[in-house]
Structure 1
Amino acid sequence: MTVIGVHASHEQVHPSRLLDAVRRAEEVGFDAAMCSDHFSPWSSRQGQSGFAWSWLGAALQATGLPFGVVNAPGQRYHPAVVAQAVGTLGAMYPGRFWAALGTGEASNEHITGERWPRKEVRTARLRECVDVIRALLDGEEVSHSGLVTVDRAKLWTRPDLPPKLVGAAVSVDTARWCAEWADGLITVNAPVEHLRKMVDAYRGAGGIGKLALQVHLSWASDQGRASAIAHEQWRSNVFGPPVCWDLETAEHFDVVSADVTPEQVARTVNVSADLGRHAETLRGYVELGFEELYLHHVGQEQDAFLDAFGERVLAEVRS
């Protein structure tokens, strides 16, 4: 059966309210949850950016849901620190935690003062980090010299079964590359033909594990309100690579998105007041081969979305 989870957006919602939201999501029938891991929001209008790892411990304790997080090791995070965080949550909540690893964005990573590397360097750095994290979770002592440096690191607290390390990708080439090392793949909603290519690239290269999709959507009781929510909160997020990778601050994103129209936002966000239309769109993603869907209502108020989708959408998609 398709897993339908909720995406907890730390860059938009205060962590206390976000904890209330995942509790409510469990109550209304969502199966799982995942969250972002940012240092900065994409826009000053979003206005938050809680620390994901602190929050994950609370969320796993407060609910019975499985959780995932998208993380970028290598610059802001040393891979040994990521391995320790993953290992501790895996030990405390066996079978309920996974981490998706990606190359990151300058908006979060520039805070170290280090130079933001070219994409091919970031990809190579991530591959080194994956190997370090896996070896540490397997109980090895790790020393490594390369794009990251590790000196005699060892995890003393580890889960019996290491959590899944999933590949995060938005391009077909990256999806194909993730098949070399990942326990699954996660991407974001895009035109159907692109998503089909992503699935085919990952599976065709021998990729194993779950296929997961983060779905940006906006719902309200009337179409105008749904469109206004999406435009107000998510117009800074319509830019593809390399823009979304390389801009450094929320202010930069606000400047470049000043003239983005609601129609442009609707190409990135599934905007509709019609719950049946949302259900139909989600069923289409399942038909493409996605086994887990994580729904991200891009508004800051989550309760009405959770209640409406719990009552009207989840069962329809599962059927």
Structure 2
Amino acid sequence: MTRFGFHASHEQISPRQLLADVQHAEQAGFEMAMCSDHLFPWGARQGHSGYAWAWLGAVLATTDLQLGCVSAPGQRYHPAVHAQKIATLGQMFPGRFWVALGSGENVNEHVTGAAWPRKEVRTARLEECVDVIRRLLAGEEVSHDGLVTVDRARVWERADPTPLLVGPAVSVESAARVAGWADGLVTLNQPEDRLRELLAAYRDAGGRGRASLQVHLSWAPDEDEAERIAHDQWRSNVFAEPVNWDTATPEAFDVMSEPVTPAVVHDHVRISTDLGRHREWLAEYAALGFDDVYLHFVGRDQARFVDTFGAEVLPQLR
């Protein structure tokens, strides 16, 4: 049976409030949670970007939820540092933490001053980092010279079980590639045909583990309000590759998103005042074969969404 969880968006909500929101979501019946890991928001209107790894410890300590995080090793985070963070959370909260390791976005990574690599280089760097992190989590001493450099690293805290290293993928090609190393798959809502192809590519390439989907949605009692929320908060997030990966600043995303209309946002966010329609959409995603579906209400005030979906959407889906 598909599980339904809560997505915590650090770019939109302060870490203190977001901690309360996840605790609220657990009480309302959400079964697990995941979060982003950004240094910058996608635009000034979002206005936040707390440090996900400090926040994860607080959430894991104050809920019983399983937590995941989408994070990028290789530039802002050295893979040995990444491995230590992963192992520490895994050791403190056995079996409750996973991480999806991606190639990152320039908006978060340019702060190191290093050049932002081409996509194929970022992909190769990620795969080197995954190998280093796996070996460190297994207790090895690791040295590595390549797109990342590691000198006699060792992580002294061991997690049992080892946290899952999940592969994030938006394209069919990426889904097939991460299948070679990932313990599971996580992706974003897209047209159903594309999601079906993406899932098939992952499984056909030998992909194992749970398949997870993050769904961007907007709901309010009034249709205009639901659309206003989505347009205000998520119009900076409608751009395809390579724009979304290569743009360097929130200010640039704001400029690019000025002409984006609500109709365009509808292509990326499930917007409706009708709870029955939201139930249908979520049931359709589950029917595609996703084991876990994380609901991301793209507004900044989560309480009304959490209460309403916890009472009137999730029970019917189960």
TM over 0.5: yes
In 1, Cα distance between equivalents of 2:161 and 2:302: 34
SS of residue matched to 1:157: coil
Deviation at 1:25, TM superposition (A): 0.3
Q: How does 1:205-220 map to 2 (within 5 A)?
A: 205-220=205-220
- Residue 5 of structure 1 and its aligned partner are, at CA, apart by 0.5
State the Cα deviation string for residues 117-149 of structure 1 (Å, max 9, x = none): 000000000000000000000000000000000
Q: Distance in 1 between matches of 2:163 and 2:3?
A: 18
User: What secondary structure, in the 3-state scheme, does the structure 2 residue paired with 1:253 have?
Assistant: helix
The match for 1:187 is 187
Cα separation, 2, equivalents of 1:138 and 1:84: 12
SS in 2 for 1:60: helix
Pairing 1:303–2:303 present: yes
- Taking only the aligned residue pairs, the percentage that are identical comes to 62
Instruction: Report deviation, 1:288.
Output: 0.5
Instruction: Judge conservation of contact 2:95–2:160 (CA < 8 Å) in 1.
Output: no
Specify the alignment match of 1:288 in structure 2: 288
The runs of 5 or more residues in structure 1 that have no matched partner are none
Q: Say what the alpha-carbon RMSD is for the aligned residues.
A: 0.5
Per-residue CA deviation, residues 260-314 of structure 1 (Å, 9 max, x unaligned), is 0001001000001111100100000011100000100000000000000000110
Task: Give secondary structure in 1 for the equivalent of 2:150.
Answer: strand
Q: Which runs of 4+ in 1 moved over 2 A?
A: none
Structure 2 counterparts to residues 25-44 of structure 1, below 5 A: 25-44=25-44
Q: In structure 2, what is the Cα distance between the partners aligned to 1:317 and 1:190? A: 20
Q: In structure 2, give the amino acid aligned to 1:221.
A: P
Deviation at 1:233, TM superposition (A): 0.4
Give the distance between the partners of 2:315 and 2:198, measured in 1 at CA: 27
32-41 or 153-162, which moves further after superposition? 153-162
* 1:8-27 map, 5 Å: 8-27=8-27
Residue 144 of structure 2: aligned partner: 144
Q: How many residues align?
A: 318
The residue type paired with residue 170 of structure 1 is: V
Specify the code of the residue in structure 2 equivalent to 1:140: E
Q: Distance in 1 between matches of 2:205 and 2:117?
A: 27
Query: What do residues 175-195 of structure 1 show as CA deviations (whole Å, max 9, x unaligned)?
Result: 000110000000000000110
Alignment partners' CA distance in 2, 1:169 and 1:39: 21
SS in 2 for 1:296: strand
Where do residues 79-228 of structure 1 align in structure 2 (5 Å cutoff)? 79-228=79-228
Letter in structure 2 aligned against 1:62? T
SS in structure 2 of the partner of residue 215 of structure 1: strand
- TM-superposed CA distance for 1:2, in Å, is 1.3
What is the CA–CA distance in structure 1 between the aligned matches of 2:226 and 2:302, rounded to whole Å? 13
Q: Work out whether 1:75 is the aligned partner of 2:90.
A: no
2: distance between equivalents of 1:124 and 1:317?
40
SS of residue paired to 1:46: coil
Task: Tell me how far apart the structure 1 counterparts of residues 199 and 295 of structure 2 sit (CA, whole Å).
Answer: 19
For residues 279 and 77 of structure 2, the distance between their equivalents in structure 1, rounded to whole angstroms, comes to: 37
Structure 2: unaligned runs, 5 residues or longer: none
Secondary structure, counterpart of 2:74 in structure 1: coil
The answer for the alignment partner of 2:61 in structure 1 is 61
- In structure 1, what residue type is equivalent to 2:288? L
TM-superposed deviation, 1:252: 0.2
1:173 is matched by which residue type in structure 2? E
Q: Per-residue deviation at 1:315?
A: 1.4
Q: Deviations over 1:227-262 (max 9, x none)?
A: 000000000000011000000000000000001000
1:161-213 Cα distance to aligned partner (Å, 9 max, x none): 21000000111000000110000000000000110010000001110000000
Once residues 292 and 91 of structure 1 are traced to their aligned partners in structure 2, the CA distance between those partners, rounded to angstroms, is 24
TM-score norm. by structure 2 comes to: 0.99
Q: Secondary structure at the match of 2:91?
A: helix
CA distance in 2, matches of 1:133, 1:13: 30
